[in-house]
Structures are given as C-alpha cells and as structure tokens.
C-alpha cells in the first residue's frame, strides 16, 4: 500500500488527467481548480479540528474525488464519484474500511447536505466553503453559466439572486472551524445578496429602510463572529492576574537585591575598616553574611532576568497555525508587512486567536511560576542564612567568653 503522502499525490495527478481528458468544456465551475481548492480546505479544516494523520488523509482524498462524477453525468454525480473513487483506490490496495469512509464523505456533499460524522462534516464544509468567501459572487456567476449550459435552463438575474439567498440562508456550517472561518463571510454575502435583490425589485426603494435593514444584518454577522462576553472577560481577568503576579514577583526580587546589596556593602566596609583586627567570633559570621547576600542577589536576579522565547516565524507557519504572534520572540525579526498580515489573519480566525491567547497565558503562567521558584529560593537563603550567621556569631562569642 502506498505511503499516506504518496496516495494523495497519486490521486491528485490521476484526477488532473481525468479532468483534462473527460471533463465537459461547459463545466466552468466544477473544474480541477475547484477540486484542488476543496481538497486543500478539507485538509485545513481537518487539521483545525485536530484530526490525526489518517483522518486528514481520508477527508483530503474524499475532497479530491467528490466531483469526479461530473466527467460522466451532472445530476446524481455523487454516486458516480463514489464508484470512480472505489475502483481507483481498490487498484491501489487501499484499505476497504477507509474506502467506505471516503464514500460516505463524498455522499455527504450532496445538496441538501446530511453528514453523519465528523469526517463527512469536514468534507461537506470544505465543498461549500465558497459560500463564505469574498470570491463568492465571481464563482456564483461561473456556476450560473455552467447550470444553464449543462441543464439547459435559464435563470433571470432576479431568480438567480433569489436562489442564492435561499441557499446561503438555509445553510449552516457543521464544524466549529467552518463556522469560525466562513460564517462571517457567509453573513456578509447574504447582506450583499439582499442589497442586490432590493435593487432588482425596486431601484428607488426608500434608502432609510434599506439602511436599517443593512444595520440589522451587519449586527447579526457581528454576533456570529464576535467573542462571547464571558470568554472575553475570562481572558481579560486571566491576563490581569498574570500581570499582577509577575509585577509582584519583580518588585519583591528588586527589594531583595537592594537589601542584600546594602548588607554586602556594609559588611565589606566594616571588614576593611577593621584592618585585620577582627576576632574569629566576628570574622566567620561576617563572611557567612557576605555569602548569604551574594547568593540571595544571584537567585533574585535570575527571577527577574528577561528572556526572549520563540524564534523566526514564516508566513507558512502562520497559515498552518503553527506559530503564535502574541509571543514577542516569534515576531521581533519579522517585517512589518508580514507581521500585519499575520495579526490580521489571527483576528479573522476566532479559533486561531483563542488558541494563541491560551498559549500566551499558559507560557506566561509558567514564566511567573519560574520567577516565584527563584524568589522562594532567594527568601529561603536569606532567611536561613541570616539565622545561621547570627547563631555562628553567638556561638563563637560564647566560646571565647568560656575560654
């Protein structure tokens, strides 16, 4: 059996040749480019939904095969696509249980979509991801032309717009990734379709009413894509708590550094002024105190020492959500244009944004914990060292008195 990456490559090459040789010329929407786009989208959704490698492979293969039936028939092409996929994959000795899953995913693209599991939901969302893209109207015109040539039916501009409104308003993405990535664009396209229909029905319709309706639709879109108030509050409180804890640790560390610097300066000055006339009862506790102060300062500095996490970030990593731009260390070497593009992509992808915020909070919390560990060690050294220095002083003082 071919390796997972090999089978996807072989299938893509097979479908390219199949479309080149057998796809009717009047099919200007259901082309190889459309299939390639759906396959890539299915892979991204699968990755975003945390599928394993096998699951991503299945949805990607299903997406590649889902429109192959158009090479033979237009209506009912899904079953033909299933047959083509089954015959090809069986020749490649692909596992039978996986072929059945792929067949289910292909059938799930039939309108109206009725997926039965996550794999089918992913392929269904990928197939209709165009409903939430900015290129929707351009692709819609291609589909309009294709349907008129393939089915020999004619749609007026008003009829086609009305059909698109019914399709978009009646459709809902099944996966969380699909809703986050394409739901906002779908709402915006619905708003634009209603505006277009109003112009077709009555170009001189009252502008005030149109503006009110536009605002209502915009608010609905905003409601679909904006963060939940409770979630927003949670992130804000979490960030405030981490910032407060980190600032408190820094303040305490600086206090210890200053205090022990004063102690060390006092000890050193006292020793030099004594010019070697110190007795054993004073000399040993003084040097103990000097060592305690030095160690306390050392670990206090470790607690507040700045460190840059992360490294170079590429646009491909951002596209695949493998980098977190909230980490300073991940973007300080980037150009402004790349950083601006990455941040805007994060802002437009709610799941990516939330994931980045959670990662940032997690690693900031680990950094604060590390600070407090060093700080606790500094306090322990200072406290026990001070006590031992005092005990040593009294011990040697009593020893000399007994003599």
Give the pLDDT confidence score for residue 205 in this predicted structure: 46
pLDDT digits (tens, 9 = 90+) for 343-391: 676 677 667 677 777 777 777 777 788 888 888 888 888 888 888 888 8
Contacts 24+ apart (CB under 8 A), 388-392: 388/288, 388/292, 389/285, 389/288, 389/289, 389/292, 390/285, 392/284, 392/285, 392/288
Which pair of tokens denotes residue 304?
């507040």
Which regions of the chain are under pLDDT 50? 1-4, 204-206, 208-209, 212, 223-227
Give the pLDDT confidence score for residue 1 in this predicted structure: 44
Neighbours of 350 (CB within 10 A): 22
Give the pLDDT confidence score for residue 100 in this predicted structure: 96
Give the pLDDT confidence score for residue 384 in this predicted structure: 86
Give the pLDDT confidence score for residue 265 in this predicted structure: 84
CA–CA separation, 121 vs 178, rounded Å? 9
Q: Which residues contact 11 (CB under 8 A, 6 or more apart)?
A: 61, 64, 65, 88
Give the pLDDT confidence score for residue 6 in this predicted structure: 84
Q: What is the largest CA-CA distance in the chain?
A: 120
Give the pLDDT confidence score for residue 4 in this predicted structure: 47
CA–CA separation, 221 vs 52, rounded Å? 32
Give the pLDDT confidence score for residue 53 in this predicted structure: 92
Letter string b/e over residues 151-167, b meaning 16 or more CB atoms within 10 A of that residue's CB? eeeeeeeeebbbebbeb
Give the pLDDT confidence score for residue 226 in this predicted structure: 47
Angle at 157 between CA 152 and CA 160, to 5 degrees: 65
Give the pLDDT confidence score for residue 8 in this predicted structure: 93
Residue 364 · residue 252 · CB < 8 Å: no
CA–CA separation, 306 vs 320, rounded Å? 29
Half-sphere exposure of 56 (CA within 13 A, CB side): 15
């Amino acid at each position: 059996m071919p390796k997972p990456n090999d089978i996807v490559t072989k299938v893509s090459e097979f479908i390219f040749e199949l479309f080149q040789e057998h796809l009717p010329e009047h099919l200007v929407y259901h082309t190889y480019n459309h299939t390639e786009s759906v396959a890539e989208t299915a892979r991204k959704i699968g990755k975003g939904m945390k599928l394993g490698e096998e699951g991503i492979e299945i949805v990607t293969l299903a997406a590649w095969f889902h429109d192959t039936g158009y090479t033979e028939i237009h209506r009912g092409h899904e079953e033909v696509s299933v047959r083509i996929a089954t015959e090809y994959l069986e020749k490649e000795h692909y596992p039978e249980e996986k072929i059945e899953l792929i067949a289910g995913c292909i059938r799930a693209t039939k309108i109206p979509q009725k997926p039965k599991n996550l794999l089918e939901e992913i392929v269904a969302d990928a197939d209709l991801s165009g409903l939430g893209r900015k290129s929707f109207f351009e692709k819609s015109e291609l589909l309009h032309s294709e349907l008129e040539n393939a089915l020999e039916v004619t749609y007026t501009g008003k009829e086609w717009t009305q059909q698109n409104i019914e399709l978009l308003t009646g459709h809902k993405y099944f996966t969380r990734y699909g809703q986050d990535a394409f739901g906002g664009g779908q709402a915006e396209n619905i708003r634009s379709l209603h505006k277009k229909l109003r112009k077709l029905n009555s170009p001189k319709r009252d502008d005030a009413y149109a503006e009110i309706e536009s605002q209502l639709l915009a608010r609905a879109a905003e409601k679909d894509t904006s963060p939940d108030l409770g979630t927003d509050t949670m992130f804000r409180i979490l960030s405030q708590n981490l910032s407060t804890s980190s600032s408190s640790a820094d303040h305490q560390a600086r206090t210890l550094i200053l205090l022990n610097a004063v102690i060390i300066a006092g000890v050193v000055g006292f020793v030099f002024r004594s010019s070697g006339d110190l007795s054993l009862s004073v000399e040993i506790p003084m040097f103990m105190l000097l060592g305690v102060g030095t160690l306390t300062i050392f670990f206090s500095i470790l607690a507040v020492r700045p460190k840059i996490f992360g490294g170079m970030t590429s646009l491909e990593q951002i596209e695949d959500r493998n980098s977190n731009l909230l980490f300073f260390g991940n973007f300080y070497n980037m150009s402004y244009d790349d950083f601006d593009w990455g941040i805007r992509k994060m802002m437009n992808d709610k799941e990516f944004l939330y994931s980045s915020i959670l990662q940032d909070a997690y690693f900031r919390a680990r950094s604060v914990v590390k600070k407090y560990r060093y700080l606790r060690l500094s306090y322990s050294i200072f406290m026990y060292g001070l006590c031992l220095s005092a005990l040593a002083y009294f011990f040697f003082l009593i020893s000399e008195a007994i003599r």
